[in-house]
Amino acid sequence: MIIPEDFQKIIKDLLGNESLSFFESLHSVSPSSIRLHPHKNYEAKNSTNIPWTKWGKYLETRPVYTLDPSLHAGAYYVQEPSSMFLEQAVKAANVIDQPIMVLDVCAAPGGKSTHLLSLLHPDSLLVSNEVIRSRASILTENIQKWGYPNVMVTNNDPSHFSKLEGMFDLIVVDAPCSGEGLFRKDNDALNEWSLSNVELCALRQRRILKDVWPALKQGGVLIFSTCTYNTKEDEETMEWLSETGKCEFLSIPVQPDWGIVETTFKQTIGYRFYPHKVKGEGFFIAAVRKLDPENDVRLHTKYALGDKCKNEEISQWLEDPSQYKFFSIKGQINAVPLCNYEKINYLSNKLNSILIGIPLATDKHGKLVPEHGAALSISLNKNNFIKVALTLEQAILYLRKEPIEISSNEKGFVLLTYKGNALGWVNLLPNRINNLYPSNWRIRMKAQ
C-alpha cells in the first residue's frame, strides 16, 4: 500500500503521535459485519454485538453473502460497522417516537435508508433518493428486500428538493467524498485520492447541503456523514453550513470504550472513527438542528396517485388492509399506508418516483400476477398464499433463476420461503414451474 504524502500529512496533523498506529491499522483486515432485520428471521452464528446499534453484529468469519438466501430475503443487510452509528445520531435528534417526514438524499446502495426504516415510527415516511439512475436501481432492490411499506424511492438531483420548503423533520446527507476511510478495503479509493479531489468533493458536498437545507423544517435535524478524515470535507463543511443557515450542533452520547473521537472546530461538533481505535472503517458524522424561521408547508394538490384499484381481492394480500390505500399505475397495483397517502400523493407529483410503498401485483386481464416486492414485504399476509419451504440447494437454483423441482399438488402462484422468510414467487402450472424471480436480480455465482 503506497500512501500519498499529502494524505500522510493530513493524518499526522490530526493524530500526531498516534499516526503510526493509524497507518499500521490500514494493513489489518476489515471486520465483517451485518445489520439484522427487526421483523425477519436470522440467527447470526459466531457473532458479537456492535455496541452503538441494536441490530448490528460483528461476524467471526466473512461468509459468501451472495450464496446465502437469507440475504436475498432481506433478513439482514451487509453494512460497515462505523456507519451504523447513524442510529445514535437519530436518537440524539429525538425524533423517532412520533411520525415524521425523512429524506435520505444520497441513499444508494441503501444501508442508511434500511437502517432508518428500522428505527422510525411506523407512521413515518422515508423518501430515499439517489441522483445516479444505475445506483437508484440498486437502491430500489435493497429497499424492496427490506420490505417496509412507508417509503418511496426517488431519482432526483438534490436541487429538486429546495422547492419542498419545510417538508422534512429529518434529512440525512451521506455525502459523496474522497473515500479516505475506505483505503484499507478499496484500492481504487486510494489510487484516485488527491488534494484536488478533496477540494472538489468539499464543493460538491456544500452544493448538496445548500440545495436541501430549505426542505428542512424549523427545528428539524440534518445528519451529515462522510467516509473520510480530512477537515476540509468534514468540520470545515459543517462550519460552512453553520454560516449559511442558522443552526445548532447536537451532542451525541458516546461511551468511552467505543473508541469514537469527538471533534470540535469553531461551532462544529463532530464524531470521527479511526480504524486503530474502532473496530470499523473511517467515518465522520455530525448533526445540526435548524433554527431558521419556519417555512409554510402546503400539501394541497389535485394530482391523484394512479387509478383507484378495482380488484377487491388484492386487499386480502395484506395483514391489515384497512390501513392501506390501493392504487394502480400502468397496470401495477401498489399499496401505501393510509396515514401517508396525502404526502406521497403530493411528493409523487413533485419528484421522479421509482418505487412507492408496496408493489403488490400486475393486473393482466383480470388476473393478479404477484410482484416480487410483495413477497418480501413485512405487511404481506402470508397465510393467504400457498407456501413451500425450500432447501438451500433449491433456494440457490431459484435465485439463479434456474428450473427447480417442487413437490406440491397445488397449482397457481406459490410463495417460496427459506428458513421462515419469504424468498419470492413461482407459478405452478400443470406441466412446468415458472420461476418468477426478477431477471435483473438473479445471482450468477455457482454454488460452492
The catalytic position among 106, 177, 201, 227 is 227
Residue 46, CA distances (Å) to 62, 67, 315 in order: 11, 18, 41
Rounded Cα distance, 229 and 226, in Å: 8
| 227 carries an active-site annotation | yes
Nearest CA-CA partner of 325 in 351, 360, 297: 360
Encode 413-445 in three state secondary structure: EEEEEECCEEEEEEEECCCCEEECCCHHHCCCC
What are the residues whose beta carbons fall under 8 Å from the beta carbon of 68, sequence distance 6 or more?
Answer: none
Give 136-172 as a DSSP string.
HHHHHHHHHHHT-SSEEEE---GGGGTTSTT-EEEEE
Nearest CA-CA partner of 137 in 102, 117, 109: 109
Nearest CA-CA partner of 417 in 133, 114, 41: 41
What are the residues whose beta carbons fall under 8 Å from the beta carbon of 206, sequence distance 6 or more?
Answer: 237, 240, 241
Which residue, chain included where needed, has cell 467505543? 258
Rounded Cα distance, 224 and 221, in Å: 10
Tell me the angle at which helices 111-119 and 86-93 cross, rounded to the nearest 10 degrees: 40
Counting Cα atoms < 13 Å in the Cβ hemisphere of 75 gives 19
How far is the first Cα of the chain from the last one, in angstroms, to the nearest whole number? 31
State the cell numbers at 44. 447470526
DSSP 276: T
DSSP 256: G
Chain centroid to Cα 432, Å, comes to 37
Chain centroid to Cα 300, Å, comes to 29
Instruction: Return the ∠ at Cα 241 (arms to 235 and 242), rounded to 5°.
Output: 90
Residues identified as active-site: 227
